Amino acid sequence: MELRTERAWNGLPISHNPITIALKSYDTGTLMHVSAPIFNDPQAPEKPFRKLWDYKFAEAFVLSDRTEQHLEVELCKYSVLKMR
């Protein structure tokens, strides 16, 4: 499955290459591949931080059709920000 983000949070078209999130299922789990432009980010934080909106990041919610549980993943160029 491949998802492409071509609009900003406010619904306006983006002016750069889209963010692409590809999910591939295997017997042992799922692989998530993210391709996204990086620009205008502040320096890497030295420790965990709260103001996520200050950084460019990709976020995906994956819902299980069997258990109805979900996985939320937030990624930025520095690391995985959140998985729960």
pLDDT of residue 13: 95
pLDDT at 57 over 60: yes
pLDDT at 79 over 70: no
Distance CA 33, CA 31 (A): 7
Distance CA 82, CA 32 (A): 14
Report the percent of the chain where pLDDT is more than 70.
82
- Write out pLDDT tens, residues 13-39: 999 999 899 989 899 988 889 888 877
pLDDT of residue 32: 87
Neighbours of 21 (CB within 10 A): 21
